Structure 1
Amino acid sequence: MRESAAERHDRLLALVRERGTARVSDLAGLLGVSPVTARRDVEALAARGLLDRVHGQVSWPRAQGAPSGLAGGGSGLVLGLLAPSATYYFAEVIRGAHEAAARAGARLILRISDYRPEEDRARAEGLLAAGAEGLLVAPGWRGPEDRLAYGDWPAELPVPAVLLERRAAPGTPLDGLDRVSSDHAHGVLLALRHLLELGHATPLLVARGDSPTALAVRAGYAEALAALGLEAPRAVIDSVPAETDPEGFERAVRALHEAVASGRASAALVHNDVDAIQMVQRLAELGVRVPEDLALIAYDDEVAALADIPLTAVAPPKRQVGRHATELLVERLVAGAGGGDEDEAVRRHLSLLPRLRVRASCGASRTTAV
């Protein structure tokens, strides 16, 4: 399968994180891409503040703390963060965790799993070997089968751990851990209610099925329909990344186009932002206009505002998830250091509510948030 840009970006960030500083030309060779591609990737990551770039070299940003492979960093607690990615959704989660760690005088070190759950445990052990006294863990699960196969090990860690933007199956050892996550069911409910208030019939859902967020959005759709007293107009339209499966993506576009053209639907929620932007572009080529023919809401709000027609979007509280999880972990560690019995502490499952950011794709004339 061809590597996506996001996967390549994660590899690039991991290389810089390990080395501290690297030449762009060297990164091209290590990544197996052309110098032009490496420069473009570096420019994109530097623009987002994930890298510092000076005279043909890049370095890990000073504002994000010392790279995990380097000496230095602040005194005090050392926290480890295992994330499936350092870009798109999880970039904001990591940023929130870093900000909270800095406020607590702690050092945050990072490992990226690249959505390879079979490697999560080894990467967590690497964090412990690097001195982490507690861990923030976002396993690299893609679907329920990964959770079943690789789900219990965080509960066996020898240090306090907080599950991050993931939910465990009830009754499993993992369900006994502290966790902080977005309430995606609430986010879906906000989106559907907004579309109904605009006068649309039951909205469709177009969603991926390749991540815990995507699966939570799908489950939230069924819950929202029940809460609103609605019946599903048809099955969820399965979406896939256009860059890795263009034929599958085109099938999703055609299914949505057919629903609009036949009059069965005039509104849709699309997970995620990238798919939503690309679908709007392709639908326009097929004669479907947003918002005139189709009111559309994206899910994630990473790049939705940058579309030609700014997209209304559900915005999970990504940065706050990272911040609250870090604060909870620091609380656990400080209590343990103060002589308290960490094992007797009451565990917490904290759900944070997404917001709906209203833009032009639903026919709105102004930007707001609810």
Structure 2
Amino acid sequence: MRESAAERHDRLLALVRERGSARVSDLASRLGVSPVTVRRDVEALAERGLLDRVHGSVSWPSSAGPGTPAAGGGPVLGLLAPSATYYFAEVIRGAHEAAASAGARLILRISDYRPAEDKARTEGLLAAGAEGLLIAPGWQAPGDQAAYGDWMAELPVPSVLLERQPAPGSALDDLDRVCSDHRHGVLLAVRHLVGLGHRAPLLVARSDSPTALAVRAGYEEALGALGLDRPHRVIDSAPAELDPGRFEEAVREVQTAVTSGRVTSVLVHNDVDAIHLVQRLAELGVRVPEDLALVAYDDEVAALADTPLTAVAPPKRHVGLHGARLLIERLGTERLGTAASGEEPGQHLALLPRLHVRASCGAPAPTRITR
């Protein structure tokens, strides 16, 4: 696989950080690229304040070295996210807002949901001068933490997990974390649909992300808490554009459950899948909300559907905001000395989603947001 520019930048920064300074020609040789490429990389990194250039050489800048405050007097924060778009764009925005208000600098690496690369990306953040880390690992499958997560317990700087809940009792369970309480979000959706007179809703969900797995677990807990029987097995969904055959199977199963009278409402993870589902069901004669009340989970694009979708909205921006504030607090305490730092308890902060009521559930929209 061809190395990306970001990966090459990480290696370049690590070399300069290790040596203090290096000639462009030496860096080109070590990196296995042309001097022209290295000069272009150095120029880009120097513009960001990560390197200093002096007559064919580069050096680690005293203004951006490890442990050195950012320009506003605050620390340098590193953020590892699996994506910079859907869902995590708001997490990043919140972290950036908190960093800016504290005079800190936020630097970002993206793993593209490749958990095997999380460690290298994080090392790149440390090489770029990060004094503390906000980490949203690229986990997708249930076994990804065990396969790719142990290294996080040994990080040399304060770290906060975002939107990830490690296995109870694991080494990562001792880390600070800030997460959306997806179980509560699912309970809001189920309770709302039941309150409209429906039996327990059907769940249509993916299984390829921690959020999807939490939604599935939350669904079982919500049914138990409300004394409801599952109306149908959980239907596994897939992106319509990536796996059209599997998507069509899910649609047909929903159609059958509705036309048989067993199901009158549905919770769908995520927004995009819900929009595709509504469109295809309409082609098959099942109307939302007339024949089927629907709630989506994520609330990224739910309001933009032809029939605006009622949706559970995890507090994504606030996850980033509170995570960065907690990390800045940890870094400030650490600077007071190890004794004071050791007295501070760890934190597991769970933020509650909200339910945004729109047309797809068949209920009039309230004047305020349901909590």
The 5 A counterparts of 1:122-141 are 122-141=120-139
Are 1:347 and 2:346 counterparts?
Answer: yes
Letter in 2 for 1:74: A
Counterpart residue number, 1:74: 71
In structure 2, the CA distance between the partners of 1:160 and 1:289, relative to structure 1 (3 Å rule), is: same
Task: Report the CA distance between 1:281 and its aligned residue.
Answer: 0.3
Q: Secondary structure at the match of 1:346?
A: coil
- The TM-score, its normalising length taken from structure 2, stands at 0.80
Q: Secondary structure at the match of 2:106?
A: strand
Letter in 2 for 1:351: A
Work out the percentage of aligned pairs sharing the same amino acid: 71
Deviations along 1:226-274, one digit per CA (max 9) or x if unpaired, are: 0000111221000011111010111111111110011010000000000
Q: Tell me if structure 2 keeps the 8 A contact 1:179–1:325.
A: yes
- The TM-score, its normalising length taken from structure 1, stands at 0.81
The correspondence for 1:251, drawn from 245, 249, 253, is 249
Q: Secondary structure at the match of 1:220?
A: helix
Question: How many correspondences in the alignment?
Answer: 311
Q: Tell me if structure 1 keeps the 8 A contact 2:196–2:363.
A: no
Counterpart residue number, 2:183: 185
The 5 A counterparts of 1:85-234 are 85-234=83-232
Counterpart residue number, 1:34: none
The 5 A counterparts of 1:196-345 are 196-341=194-339, 342-345=341-344
Task: Report the CA distance between 1:364 and its aligned residue.
Answer: 2.5
CA distance in 2, matches of 1:166, 1:239: 22
Q: Secondary structure at the match of 2:140?
A: coil
Runs of 4+ that moved beyond 4 A: 66-73
Moved more, 75-84 or 307-316: 75-84
CA distance in 2, matches of 1:340, 1:197: 52
Q: Secondary structure at the match of 1:189?
A: helix
Deviations along 1:123-153, one digit per CA (max 9) or x if unpaired, are: 0000000000000000000011111201221
CA distance in 2, matches of 1:173, 1:207: 29
In structure 2, the CA distance between the partners of 1:143 and 1:336, relative to structure 1 (3 Å rule), is: same
CA distance in 1, matches of 2:289, 2:295: 10
Q: Tell me if structure 1 keeps the 8 A contact 2:295–2:310.
A: yes
Task: Report the CA distance between 1:366 and its aligned residue.
Answer: 2.6
In structure 2, the CA distance between the partners of 1:311 and 1:239, relative to structure 1 (3 Å rule), is: same
Moved more, 340-349 or 118-127: 340-349
Counterpart residue number, 2:355: 356
Q: Secondary structure at the match of 2:143?
A: helix
Task: Report the CA distance between 1:340 and its aligned residue.
Answer: 4.7
In structure 2, the CA distance between the partners of 1:69 and 1:225, relative to structure 1 (3 Å rule), is: farther
Letter in 1 for 2:71: G
Q: Secondary structure at the match of 1:144?
A: coil
Query: Unaligned regions of 5+ residues in structure 2, if any?
Result: 11-46, 53-63, 65-69
**What value does the CA root-mean-square deviation take over the aligned residues?**
2.0
Q: Secondary structure at the match of 1:201?
A: coil
Q: Secondary structure at the match of 1:314?
A: strand
Letter in 2 for 1:267: S
Task: Report the CA distance between 1:68 and its aligned residue.
Answer: 8.5
Q: Secondary structure at the match of 1:210?
A: coil
CA distance in 2, matches of 1:359, 1:193: 16
Indicate the structure (1 or 2) with the bigger Cα radius of gyration.
2
Moved more, 217-226 or 150-159: 150-159
In structure 2, the CA distance between the partners of 1:343 and 1:122, relative to structure 1 (3 Å rule), is: farther
CA distance in 2, matches of 1:69, 1:139: 24
Task: Report the CA distance between 1:155 and its aligned residue.
Answer: 1.1
Letter in 2 for 1:119: E
CA distance in 1, matches of 2:48, 2:231: 50
CA distance in 2, matches of 1:340, 1:237: 51
CA distance in 2, matches of 1:325, 1:312: 28
